[in-house]
Structure 1
Amino acid sequence: MKFVGIFIFVALVIFVSARNHLDNEVSEVKNLTDDDIKVVCYFTNWSWYRQGIGKYSPEDIDSHLCTHIVYGFASLDANTLKIKTYDSWVDIDNHFYQRVTAYHQKGIKILIAIGGWNDSTEKYSRLLTNPSARHKFIESVIDFIGKYNFQGLDLDLEYPGCWQGLCRASSARDRQGFSQFIQELSETFKPHNYLLSAAVSPGKQIIDIAYDVPILSQYLDWIALMAYDYHGSWDRSTGHNAPLYYYPGDKYDYFNVDYTVNYWIKKGAQSDKLVLGVPAY
């Protein structure tokens, strides 16, 4: 099969989508075309607040590493249901938007991500299930992208119908609304040549509830699999955060990268639109 991608979580998160070069050693991304590989790097604005060597600024990004950079995160205004800056002191006052989008001059596409775990509350359900609210949001996104010189939007909504991992009675309406939302965004973005992607769950239970996979595959430019955090401090026993395959003793046979990738394909995702998340933290 055509292979998917990779993403690595440090101060940057990197997604790599390699289609036909699995058997070839790749030394430099710049020697490959966009059709060959995607290295999608997440820049997190809160990394600037770290102390010492953990501090990470826009100028620390290696421009030879990424074909795309996703800036995390913008937020959803709970009252207007429009996109807004999450940390205006960093994003605007300290010019982080401007300093990251400057990499576009080096041929890198820069997207703004909305959502993230902390922001993914039920306010998104009010957005997804209201056609008028979706229309107003999309108008605000077009203005936002143009104003701050981004080239697209990444949807990091965690997760439709299962906000912050808790599935609710509204899940079916959220799932349908998310599918309509993606179609409407895609159709509005095309005349502007804006990119549209989404970061999605690796877990079978949430995949089944949150996503109409063929719709996502049809309308998104890529689907970023968050294939990490299968295990963590919330568990009662230790486990690898991103196991490649099932290992004896694990509670669930679907908590591994191999299962996630194949399950997304089984559900109807195009393999060459999948971008696999690889954590490096």
Structure 2
Amino acid sequence: MAYFIQRNMQYTWFDYGTKSPLQFDLERRGYERFVGLKKKFPDLKTILSIGGWGENGGKYSQMIRTADRRQIFVRSVVAFLATHGFDGLDVDWEYPGDPGRGGAPEDYDNFPLLLQELRTAFDAEGRGWELTIAATSTRAKVLKGYKVSELCRAVDAVYLMTYNLRGLWNGYADVHSMLFSRRGLDSGNKLELNVNGGVLLWESLGCPRNKIVIGVPFYGKSYTLCNDSMNDLHAPINGTGQPGPILRSNGVLMYFEICYLLNSTGWVRRWDSEGLVPFAYSGDQWVGYEDTESLKIKMTYIRDMGLLGVMNWAVNDDDFQNLCDSGSYPMMRTIHEGLNNYTVPEMQQV
């Protein structure tokens, strides 16, 4: 069976005032209702995730430096999972070893220690709890903070965040989740900064393919072009895209917004024949994104490569109101259809 992991932002739509997110979720029975989905779907695994981009990694770097601190954390995790009925823990530390995010060089050796101690504690509980991490696919960050072979021995899955691979910092318009590099377009480290490059990087450093989960975005990154007539890949830009028609967010268009623009306002869709992803434009507005065509290709890639599965960010970005005229939740359905009846091959741990 393949993994399909739904990652999502918590508390996006709520103002919890002076209360902590934990207090808020407990009072609103968020954990209880989430875990309660297993009554309807008995095979569902409900995993608690910690970290994320909005949380500076300094606290994790400090915590893992001593055995005593790590054990305090491990015991608290075991108690929390048992109390609330979760099936495991996902550590989304962004990023160990990165000084710009509060990390330290010692993280490289200490992070595997934490995961090994969590693994031992989880196995001792005998509840089948899973341990996973979300990780970067950027070589410089991986080499600095991830002792890959040891990490992959401890965890059940590595969720590669193979999106946001391009952005405003590049100075040109590009899709942020291309599957492969593009000849004559990508150069230097950009040749590896794609989904396939990230998978091969982690495999080369000692992570078996059947523990690798690729990430796919249900949102596009948008830009304002310098020149309306230059709208191909790598077109010059002078800033983020204008707010979308529904969520009104600069530089980001959700998939359902892109559907609306393509079907109702005359945007033009194009296809990156090497990266195997779509992009679209209208006037000086440009967006690179994923759609059902690119997702089908990525699901075939997962099968061909023998990977563990796919995770997405995020389900609320899908076309839940059928603006694409293809039924509700087309992206989710494409993933389900693409991995239905797929069996992950067994491989030897490197």
Give the alignment's TM-score, normalised by structure 2: 0.56
CA contact (8 A) 2:157 2:211 kept: yes
Tell me what 1:41 maps to: 6
Q: Per the alignment, do residues 230 and 94 of structure 1 end up closer, same or farther by CA in structure 2, a change over 3 Å counting?
A: same
Q: SS where residue 196 of structure 1 aligns?
A: strand
Q: Which amino acid aligns with 1:231?
A: R
Tell me what 1:181 maps to: 114
The Cα of 1:89 is off from its aligned counterpart by 4.9
The Cα of 1:44 is off from its aligned counterpart by 2.5
Q: SS where residue 181 of structure 1 aligns?
A: helix
Check if 1:279 corresponds to 2:217.
yes
Paired with 2:132 and 2:20, the residues of 1 have a C-alpha distance of 19
CA contact (8 A) 1:45 1:90 kept: no
More deviation, 106-115/236-245: 236-245
Give the alignment's TM-score, normalised by structure 1: 0.70
The Cα of 1:189 is off from its aligned counterpart by 0.4
Paired with 1:44 and 1:176, the residues of 2 have a C-alpha distance of 29
Provide Cα deviations, 1:41-81, integer angstroms capped at 9, x if missing partner. Answer: 1232234349xxxxxxxxxxxxxxxxxxxxxxxxxxxxxxx
Q: SS where residue 36 of structure 2 aligns?
A: helix
Paired with 2:72 and 2:101, the residues of 1 have a C-alpha distance of 27
Q: SS where residue 188 of structure 1 aligns?
A: helix
The Cα of 1:95 is off from its aligned counterpart by 1.2
Q: SS where residue 49 of structure 2 aligns?
A: strand
CA contact (8 A) 2:137 2:201 kept: no
Q: Tell me which of 201, 208, 217 is aligned to 1:270.
A: 208
The Cα of 1:153 is off from its aligned counterpart by 0.4
Q: Which amino acid aligns with 1:116?
A: G
Tell me what 1:99 maps to: 33
Check if 1:258 corresponds to 2:164.
no
Paired with 2:216 and 2:8, the residues of 1 have a C-alpha distance of 15
Tell me what 2:63 maps to: 127
CA contact (8 A) 1:152 1:194 kept: yes
Tell me what 1:216 maps to: 151
Check if 1:194 corresponds to 2:124.
no
Tell me what 1:157 maps to: 93
Paired with 2:102 and 2:191, the residues of 1 have a C-alpha distance of 21
Q: Which amino acid aligns with 1:133?
A: R
Q: Which amino acid aligns with 2:34?
A: V
Check if 1:116 corresponds to 2:56.
no
CA contact (8 A) 1:111 1:151 kept: yes
Q: Per the alignment, do residues 167 and 144 of structure 1 end up closer, same or farther by CA in structure 2, a change over 3 Å counting?
A: closer
Paired with 1:237 and 1:279, the residues of 2 have a C-alpha distance of 20
Tell me what 1:233 maps to: 168
CA contact (8 A) 1:161 1:210 kept: yes
The Cα of 1:86 is off from its aligned counterpart by 5.8
Larger radius of gyration: 2
Root-mean-square deviation (Å): 2.0
Q: Per the alignment, do residues 219 and 95 of structure 1 end up closer, same or farther by CA in structure 2, a change over 3 Å counting?
A: same
The Cα of 1:93 is off from its aligned counterpart by 1.6
Higher normalized contact order (CA 8 Å, seq sep 6+, divided by chain length): 1
Check if 1:139 corresponds to 2:75.
yes
Q: SS where residue 224 of structure 1 aligns?
A: strand
Structure 2 matches for 1:60-99, cutoff 5 A?
87-99=21-33
Q: Which amino acid aligns with 1:95?
A: R
Q: Which amino acid aligns with 1:110?
A: T
Q: SS where residue 82 of structure 2 aligns?
A: helix
More deviation, 178-187/101-110: 101-110
Q: SS where residue 109 of structure 1 aligns?
A: coil
Structure 2: state its 5+ residue gaps: 220-350
Q: SS where residue 216 of structure 1 aligns?
A: helix
More deviation, 232-241/180-189: 232-241
Paired with 1:242 and 1:109, the residues of 2 have a C-alpha distance of 27
Q: Per the alignment, do residues 235 and 92 of structure 1 end up closer, same or farther by CA in structure 2, a change over 3 Å counting?
A: farther
